[in-house]
């Protein structure tokens, strides 16, 4: 006899599967009409969304969530407007479904067409950031995928209301819109995920976004394919031929603009030949922003004249994603040591070099094996919106399949159409 939790999850999955078939019948114009209506509804319901978010923020504060996690959770007017503009941006993008990826005719006259199609039912698991609810739902809608959303329990009121607003707007704009195309898992029980990801006959893909523990737990329990949004241990290497003014601006942006995001810098590597000049300069700026520095011995010595708060870096620190006002600092002997450090401790997310030497930059770009690698630019650009995708459903650190920001194209698969005139195989 199945448990009530199993029954609840299988019902969600079955409803999503049915909705995915209905979505496949909706035209691009109809999908865009729904997305525009959703954007209007987000703006009209902004007060209600903030009220729901305030419930989550109050509970999270009492629970003692960190400053960075509270920042990820909070929805203000700017972030709510960003959700709405994100919906409009996705509506304006080309619909990838139905694209002809390949078209060939065989010697026997059989025509073969490879076309982009929806994946089907996508489960998205994420923590804290309720704006992901709108991003994920809209990207899946545009690509004809039904989505089941499992946000963190700390954001349940925000996530539930946002999803309700989106579905109500779509159904009003298009009466045939399947209301189960966007669903939120209501139970906080961890076992719900294991149950949901065991229904291979209904669920086609899972994408977890969050910390290392969440990713590993989902990957180990899932029976459906998983695309991993792994941790962001991002590096910026300041080369001995860097423009130090530029380097300081990039470092400050990569660390303090929004440290709670996965594309924020966690480790700064500085070439030894310019460390004595650069570290006191950047140390003061970081201290002004109350960034705590986890430093090696060489960095500690060179930063001693600043007001920076410093602690000795441990081996574990180099592979830690802080999502906070904390930064690892290490002095390296040159490009090779920087490359070795990134290869050993990096998570394959985003890494950058600051240098005026084109040859050095090209070596870095070629040898760093990450989803996004930058020359003279901040790691904070690893984002679907910044990449011109309208929004993103996650940043894949996998190497097979999607990699980097996942937009519309990455939410489709393909199938072959065989168009014949009576051909048989001989």
Q: What are the start and end residues of each CATH 3.40.309.10 domain in the chain? A: 234-381
Looking at the DSSP bridge assignments, the partners of residue 115 are: 100, 415
Residues 1-6: contacts with CB within 8 Å, 24+ apart?
A: 5/187, 5/189, 5/191, 5/192, 5/195, 6/195
Overall fold of domain 4-227+406-419: Aldehyde Dehydrogenase; Chain A, domain 1 (3.40.605)
**364-393 confidence digits (pLDDT tens):** 999 999 999 999 999 999 998 898 876 777
SS (H, E, C) the chain: CCCHHHHHHHHHHHHHHHHHHHHCCCCHHHHHHHHHHHHHHHHHCHHHHHHHHHHHHHHHHHHCCCHHHHHHHCCCHHHHHHHHHHHHHHHHCCCCCCCEEEEEECCCCCEEEEEEEECCEEEEECCCCCHHHHHHHHHHHHCCCEEEEECCHHHHHHHHHHHHHHHHHHHHHCCCCCHHHEEECCCCCCHHHHHHCCCCCCCCEEEEECCHHHHHHHHHHCCCCECCECCCCEEEEECCCCCHHHHHHHHHHHHHCCCCCCCCEEEEEEEHHHHHHHHHHHHHHHHHCCCEEEECHHHHHHHCCCCCEEEECCCCHHHCCCCCCEEEEEEECCHHHHHHHHHHHCCCCEEEEECCCHHHHHHHHHHCCCCEEEECCCHHHCCCCCCCCCCCCCEECCCCCCCEECCCHHHEEEEEEEECCCCCCC
C-alpha dist (Å) from residue 241 to 338, 374, 403:
14, 16, 31
Residue 45 pLDDT level (bands cut at 50, 70, 90) = very high
Q: What are the start and end residues of each CATH 3.40.605.10 domain in the chain? A: 4-227+406-419
Mean pLDDT, the chain, as a whole number?
Answer: 94
Burial class (CB in 10 A: 0-12, 13-18, 19+), 70: middle
pLDDT at 67: 80
Residue 116 has pLDDT above 90, yes or no: yes
Burial class (CB in 10 A: 0-12, 13-18, 19+), 62: exposed
**291-329 confidence digits (pLDDT tens):** 999 999 999 999 998 989 999 999 999 999 998 999 999
Q: Are 155 and 63 in contact (CB under 8 A)?
A: no
**160-186 confidence digits (pLDDT tens):** 999 999 999 999 999 999 999 999 999
Q: Which is higher by pLDDT, 345 or 307?
A: 345
The rounded radius of gyration (Å) of the Cα atoms in the chain is 24
C-alpha dist (Å) from residue 35 to 18, 136, 180, 251, 356:
20, 12, 16, 37, 44
Report the CATH number of the 234-381 domain. 3.40.309.10
Residue 398 pLDDT level (bands cut at 50, 70, 90) = confident
Query: What is the pTM (predicted TM-score) of this model?
Result: 0.81
pLDDT at 215: 83
**1-37 confidence digits (pLDDT tens):** 468 999 999 999 999 999 999 999 999 999 999 999 9
């Amino acid at each position: 006899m199945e448990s009530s939790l199993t029954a609840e999850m299988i019902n969600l999955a079955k409803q999503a599967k049915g909705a995915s078939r209905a979505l496949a019948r909706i035209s691009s114009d109809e999908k865009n009409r729904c997305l525009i209506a959703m954007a209007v509804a987000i703006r009209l319901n902004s007060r209600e969304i903030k009220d729901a978010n305030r419930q989550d923020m109050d509970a999270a504060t009492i629970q003692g969530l960190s400053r960075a996690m509270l920042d990820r959770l909070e929805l203000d007017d700017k972030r709510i407007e960003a959700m709405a503009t994100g919906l409009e941006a996705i509506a304006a993008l080309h619909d990838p479904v139905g694209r002809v990826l390949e078209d060939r005719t065989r010697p026997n006259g059989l025509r073969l067409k490879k076309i982009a199609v929806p994946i089907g039912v996508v489960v998205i698991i994420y923590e804290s950031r309720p704006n992901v609810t709108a991003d994920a739902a809209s990207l899946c809608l545009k690509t004809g995928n039904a989505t089941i959303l499992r946000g963190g329990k700390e954001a349940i009121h925000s996530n539930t209301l946002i999803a309700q607003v989106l579905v109500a707007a779509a159904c009003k704009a298009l009466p045939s819109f399947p209301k189960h195309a966007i669903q939120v898992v209501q139970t906080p029980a961890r076992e719900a995920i294991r149950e949901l990801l065991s229904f291979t006959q209904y669920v086609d893909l899972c994408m977890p976004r969050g910390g290392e523990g969440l990713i590993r737990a989902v990957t180990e329990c899932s029976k459906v394919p998983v695309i991993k949004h792994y941790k962001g241990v991002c590096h910026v290497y300041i080369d001995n031929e860097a423009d130090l003014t530029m380097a300081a601006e990039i470092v400050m942006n990569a660390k303090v603009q929004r440290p709670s995001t996965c594309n924020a810098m966690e480790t700064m590597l500085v070439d030894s030949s310019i460390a004595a000049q650069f570290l006191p300069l950047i140390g003061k700026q970081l201290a002004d922003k109350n960034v705590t520095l986890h430093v090696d011995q060489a960095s500690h010595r060179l930063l001693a004249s600043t007001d920076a708060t410093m602690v000795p870096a441990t081996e574990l620190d180099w592979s830690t994603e802080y999502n906070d006002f904390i930064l690892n600092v290490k002095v390296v002997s040159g490009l090779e040591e920087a490359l070795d450090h990134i290869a050993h401790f990096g998570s394959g997310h985003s890494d950058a070099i600051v240098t005026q030497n084109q040859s050095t930059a090209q070596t870095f770009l070629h040898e760093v094996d990450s989803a996004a690698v930058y020359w003279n630019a901040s790691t904070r650009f690893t984002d679907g919106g910044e990449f011109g995708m309208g929004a993103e459903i996650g940043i894949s650190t996998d190497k097979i399949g999607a990699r980097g920001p996942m937009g519309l194209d990455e939410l489709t698969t393909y199938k072959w159409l065989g168009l014949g005139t009576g051909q048989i195989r001989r």
